[in-house]
Structure 1
Amino acid sequence: MLPVNMPGTKWPYISRILPFIMNNLPQLLQQGGVTFLNAMSGFFVGGLVGLALAVLMSLSKTIERTITPYIVSSQMVPIIGLAPIVFGILHNADLSRITMAAYVTFFPVTINSLAGLSGVKKEQRELFNSYASPTWKYYWKLAIPAALPQFFLGLKLSAPLSITASIVVELMGAPNGIGVLMVSSLYYGSAQSDMFWATVFFSAIIGLAAFLLISLIERLITPWQPEFRVRGGRGK
């Protein structure tokens, strides 16, 4: 039989945490909003950097072979180790959160976008070459639209990670954010266990919201993908 009182170190009962979240929803929304906005700002920057790097690498195999080792090496440093370094250098919580969110975003976006840019059919490239189309027009009209599904795949992988990176910075001493609530609740042990678990669940909700937002944008921008097409006919 389960004990009546939940130990602070054990997995919480959902029936206890959900009412706590609802009772403290304004505070969680306020602090979670700070985390979300900073993470999405860095996510946007990281997405643009990732796409730009992918385009640059797709221009030449030499450029790709030169840049790839540095991009891969940049991901060898864990965010839990890099976050305090970035925070100590910048001395600004918002800028540090944006930087770390961009850091975890650009790599998946770069790799997936490069795969999409490299996957353009040979016949399509030759058609553009036969019309002597400039490079910028080839990318704008063909390569980038063709790579959008892979680009959004990288974004969907990165969206929850950007939230995590922002929270890690907040654990280092930021003045606000869901991570601040999380670490402050740990100082009080079992007395604040409900708040700790509430921030954990709410962080997961924020990450899911970021993923769903990018999925919605993908559906609006790339409606031609097979999974987004409306199937017609009987029995379909």
Structure 2
Amino acid sequence: MSLRSFKLEYRSWVVIWILSILLLWEGVAWILHLLMSPQQAASRLPYLHDVLAALIRYSGTLAEQGAVTFGNAAIGFAGGTLLGLVLALLMSVAVWLERTLSPYVISSQMIPVIGLAPIVYGIIHNAEWARIFMAAYVTFFPIIIHTLKGLKSAAPEHLELMRSCGASLTTRYIKCLLPSSLPGLFAGMKIAAPLAVTSSIVVELMGAPDGLGVLMVSSLYYGSAQVGMFWATIVLSIGIGLISYLVISLAERWLTPWQPEFRAKGGSRA
């Protein structure tokens, strides 16, 4: 199978998967409307076309508040990625540092986000910084784990050859170790990006003045009158997470073209 036909088949499956989800949504909503009153059914799962209509109707408000959530999540994600990358590099250089920091890194993730968010918000008393901190908190752990694994995956014979040629530690990292770590780094980023958005929304649920989480809480307060707004914020949150994932996937394809899944199979050209 050529790479072009593989891509076409992959895209076809994506389209089929999306259409299946949409049909399933509409089907379940239709069944609920048969079994319940329209208000009760809409509060549990409204029709998808009603949610899309709400997205258009409240597009201005959703765009404004979504930009706040995404902006803080992006800053925290960038900070957490940088922190995780630096720590992974340091831990790969010194084994004693890895053994010292690993228990603290692992134990830091034992606190659930829903429990840590109100503590952080109560200490900082600033919604913007609390969202950034929580986004960085959920980001740095997968970055460390996957980047460190990538650094350790470098071929020993390549490193030995570079040592025999007198290559410095910096050169070994630039020429061999860092390229080997990129697939792991991107794997961690793809995991962390949607989590960063979710953690920012969790902070907003704690009483922040703006953001998608505030829209969710306020729409729940008004009940069935704002059910469209509530589900619109849910769909927008999912969309932000998916877009973040896709952007990172595209960057991975561009920066790591040597990975097997990005190369043409069977000797055919892309």
Cα distance in structure 2, aligned partners of 1:235 and 1:168: 46
Identity among equivalent positions (%) equals 53
Q: Cα deviation per residue 1:126-163 (whole Å; 9 max; x = unaligned)?
A: 01211222222211221011110111000000000000
Show CA shifts across 1:27-82 (max 9, x none): 11111111111101110111111111111111132221111110000000011111
Contact preservation (8 Å) 2:39, 2:224: no
Q: CA deviation at 1:93?
A: 1.3
Instruction: Give the secondary structure class of the aligned counterpart of 2:44.
Output: coil
CA distance in 2, matches of 1:235, 1:84: 53
Q: Which residue of 1 aligns with 2:169?
A: 135
For the Cα contact (< 8 Å) 1:173–1:180, is it kept in 2? yes
Could you say which residue in structure 1 is the equivalent of 2:79? 45
After TM superposition, the structure 1 = structure 2 runs for residues 1-236 of structure 1, keeping only pairs within 5 Å, are 2=34, 3=36, 5-7=38-40, 8-230=42-264
Counterpart of 1:5 in structure 2: which amino acid?
P
Inter-partner Cα distance in structure 2 for 1:135 and 1:92: 42
Distance of aligned partners of 1:208 and 1:234 in 2 relative to their CA distance in 1, 3 Å threshold: closer
Q: Secondary structure at the match of 1:173?
A: coil
Q: 1: distance between equivalents of 2:120 and 2:218?
A: 21
- For the Cα contact (< 8 Å) 1:46–1:102, is it kept in 2? yes
Q: 1:166-212: per-residue Cα shift (whole Å, max 9, x none)?
A: 10111112111111111111111222222111111111111111111
TM-score where L is the length of structure 1: 0.94
Residues 181 and 87 (structure 1 numbering): CA distance in 2 closer, same or farther, change over 3 Å? same
- Report the equivalent of 2:27: none
Contact kept, 8 Å, 2:220 with 2:227, in 1: the verdict is: yes
- 8 Å contact kept, 1:185–1:195: yes
8 Å CA contact 1:6, 1:12 repeated in 2: no
Higher helix share: 2
The letter for the 2-side match of 1:138 is: R
The one-letter amino acid paired with 1:49 is L
* Counterpart amino acid of residue 148 in structure 2: L
Q: Which amino acid aligns with 1:218?
A: E
Is the deviation greater in 19-28 or in 143-152? 19-28
CA–CA separation in structure 1 for the residues paired with 2:266 and 2:55: 43
Task: Name the count of aligned residue pairs.
Answer: 236
Q: Which moved more, 1:157-166 or 1:8-17?
A: 8-17
Shift of 1:229: 2.8
CA distance in 1, matches of 2:209, 2:162: 53
Provide the C-alpha distance between the structure 1 equivalents of 2:74 and 2:263, rounded to a whole number of angstroms: 28
Task: Structure 2: state its 5+ residue gaps.
Answer: 1-30
CA positional deviation for 1:234: 6.2
RMSD of equivalent CA atoms: 1.8
Shift in Å, 1:9: 3.6
CA shift at 1:227, angstroms?
2.0
TM-score under structure 2 normalisation? 0.82
